[in-house]
């Protein structure tokens, strides 16, 4: 049986101030085309449908469109869960009505969640949707005061899914969690402060496949059958070298007292703007940019120039219109190497000028430059005598 596993759509997300909704819509159109081609038994979205609890209306419209196209247009069921960015109540709105049409929207944790039962020529497959819930929420929903950390809360949900799997059926679990050892990116929000949110991969023992969300880099998490699909797009510059994809999973025939064979294929869905880091002097980057066929990528420019540059962002945007961020590692290193800066509340003008000159140029001012500065200040003093008490 074939399943398509995706996660971390983060609809409504901003990238350095730009709304990504049109980018997300373009990639999701490619997903719809892939679903039409692959004809999976179900499409899985493993949490973080939206970037925040109250998403912008464009994001809600986009999700509505994509789910309708897949569920109603193509007749393929969708199983989606709330992630740590989603509002469980909002994601779960109308869940009972949706389920009738083949759309499982698991928002709040439910102590009696029934799996979606699928079947192929090999028999039944139970698809379990376990939404993200913090330990306090799990204690309340499961009426179990012993659930003090994320591992215990998840374990409680997983045990219920195991118990709800019909005898002889294959079992697939959809969850949103941080499995110990997974490689993270800058765009994930930690599940708890201090890194106590991780769970061991052994929690998922006994499932034929586990479709995870939360970590944005596609990867295995303890064995080939426990996987992160990764996010829809690159949501931070730290992800510039990742290949974003959706995972097509083929679950084989059930194995008595064992696990079904699982084959996995990662299918890349190209984004309209790639996310890139480029490095060089301002002049070099601008020269290269004039013949760069991918000028419309989102760019982080790391400028290696020393000394002052006049408005580098505007100049870069003349060739790379989507320059989102400029870093000056050389200039910052030089500034850090110059030691302590004068306290602006106590230092005199001459001292502040000398420091600013060093900061901008990287060199000490000459006696002539200091004298010229002093003359200007002196002239201003005479034109505008200090009136403040």
- Least distance CB 194 / Mn ion (angstroms): 19
Measured from the Cβ of residue 383, the count of other Cβ atoms closer than 10 Å reads 7
- Least distance CB 85 / Mn ion (angstroms): 6
Query: What's the distance, CA 12 to chain centroid?
Result: 12
In the complex with Mn ion, which residue's Cβ is closer, 85 or 139?
Answer: 85
Site for Mn ion in 295-354 (CB under 5 A): none
Strand partners, 212: 175, 228
In the complex with Mn ion, which residue's Cβ is closer, 132 or 142?
Answer: 132
* Stretch of 41-49, 73-81, 124-132, 376-384 lying at the interface with Mn ion (CB under 5 A): 41-49
- Least distance CB 136 / Mn ion (angstroms): 20
- Least distance CB 235 / Mn ion (angstroms): 8
Dihedral class, residue 139 (left if φ above 0, else alpha if ψ from -120 to 50, else beta): alpha
Tell me the residue ranges of DSSP E strands in the chain.
2-6, 14-15, 18-19, 42-45, 78-81, 103-106, 116-120, 123-129, 170-176, 178-179, 198-199, 209-213, 219-220, 226-228, 245-251, 262-268, 275-280, 298-303, 323-327
Listed in sequence order, the residues at least 6 apart from 186 whose beta carbon sits closer than 8 Å to its beta carbon are 236, 237, 238, 239
* Stretch of 42-50, 116-124, 192-200, 295-303 lying at the interface with Mn ion (CB under 5 A): 42-50
- Least distance CB 176 / Mn ion (angstroms): 8
* Stretch of 6-14, 16-24, 36-44, 122-130 lying at the interface with Mn ion (CB under 5 A): 6-14
Near Mn ion by CB under 5 A: residue from 3, 9, 12, 48: 48
In the complex with Mn ion, which residue's Cβ is closer, 8 or 297?
Answer: 8
* Stretch of 7-15, 194-202, 240-248, 318-326 lying at the interface with Mn ion (CB under 5 A): 7-15
- Least distance CB 188 / Mn ion (angstroms): 5
Near Mn ion by CB under 5 A: residue from 1, 5, 8, 62: 8
- Among the listed residues 80, 20, 105, the one whose alpha carbon sits nearest the alpha carbon of residue 56: 20
* Stretch of 11-19, 44-52, 254-262, 341-349 lying at the interface with Mn ion (CB under 5 A): 44-52
In the complex with Mn ion, which residue's Cβ is closer, 8 or 208?
Answer: 8
In the complex with Mn ion, which residue's Cβ is closer, 13 or 328?
Answer: 13
Three-state helix/strand/coil letters over 61-115? HHHHHHHHHHHHHCCCCEEEECCCCCCHHHHCCCHHHHHHCCEEEECCCCCCCCC
In the complex with Mn ion, which residue's Cβ is closer, 90 or 315?
Answer: 90
- What's the token pair of residue 338? 């110059």
When asked if residue 239 is in the footprint of Mn ion (CB under 5 A), the reply is no
- Least distance CB 32 / Mn ion (angstroms): 21
- Least distance CB 34 / Mn ion (angstroms): 21
CB-based closest residue to Mn ion: 48
- Least distance CB 173 / Mn ion (angstroms): 18
Measured CA to CA in angstroms, residue 8 lies from 45, 65, 85, 231 at distances of 7, 17, 9, 5
**For residues 143 and 349, what is the distance between their CA atoms, to the nearest angstrom?**
67
Dihedral of the CA atoms 7, 247, 184, 211 (nearest 10)? 60
In the complex with Mn ion, which residue's Cβ is closer, 51 or 208?
Answer: 51
State the residues that interact with Mn ion by CB under 5 A.
8, 48
């Amino acid at each position: 049986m074939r399943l398509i596993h995706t996660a971390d759509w983060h609809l409504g997300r901003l990238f350095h101030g730009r709304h990504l909704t049109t980018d997300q819509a373009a990639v999701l159109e490619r997903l719809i085309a892939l679903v039409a081609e692959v004809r999976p038994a179900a499409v899985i979205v493993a949490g973080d449908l939206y970037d925040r609890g109250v998403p912008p209306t464009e994001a809600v419209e986009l999700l509505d469109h994509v789910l309708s196209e897949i569920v109603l247009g193509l007749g393929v069921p969708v199983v989606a869960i709330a992630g740590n960015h989603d509002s469980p109540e909002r994601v779960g709105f109308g869940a009972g009505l949706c389920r009738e049409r083949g759309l499982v929207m698991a928002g709040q944790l439910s102590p009696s969640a029934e799996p979606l039962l699928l079947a192929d020529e090999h028999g039944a497959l139970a698809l379990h949707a376990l939404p993200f819930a913090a330990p306090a929420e799990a204690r309340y929903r499961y009426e179990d005061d012993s659930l003090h950390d994320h591992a215990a809360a998840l374990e409680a949900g997983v045990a219920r899914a195991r118990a709800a799997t019909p005898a002889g059926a294959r079992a697939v679990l959809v969850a949103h969690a941080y499995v110990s050892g997974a490689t993270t990116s800058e765009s994930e929000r930690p599940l708890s402060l201090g890194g106590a949110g991780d769970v061991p991969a052994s929690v998922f023992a006994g499932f034929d496949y586990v479709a995870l969300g939360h970590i944005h880099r596609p990867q295995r998490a303890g064995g080939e059958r426990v996987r992160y699909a990764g996010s829809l797009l690159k949501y931070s510059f730290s992800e510039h070298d990742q290949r974003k994809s959706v995972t097509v999973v083929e679950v084989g025939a059930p194995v008595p007292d064992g696990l079904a064979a699982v084959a996995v294929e990662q299918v890349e869905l190209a984004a309209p703007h790639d996310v890139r880091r480029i490095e060089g002097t301002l002049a070099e980057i601008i020269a290269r940019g004039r013949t760069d066929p991918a000028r419309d990528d989102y760019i982080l420019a790391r400028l290696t120039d020393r000394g002052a540059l006049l408005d580098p962002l505007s100049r870069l945007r003349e060739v790379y219109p989507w320059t989102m961020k400029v870093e000056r590692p050389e200039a910052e290193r030089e500034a850090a190497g110059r030691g302590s800066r004068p306290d602006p509340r106590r230092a005199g003008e001459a001292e502040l000028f000398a420091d600013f000159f060093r900061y901008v140029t990287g060199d000490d001012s000459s006696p002539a430059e200091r004298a010229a500065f002093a003359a200007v200040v002196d002239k201003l003093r005479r034109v505008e005598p200090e009136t403040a008490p």
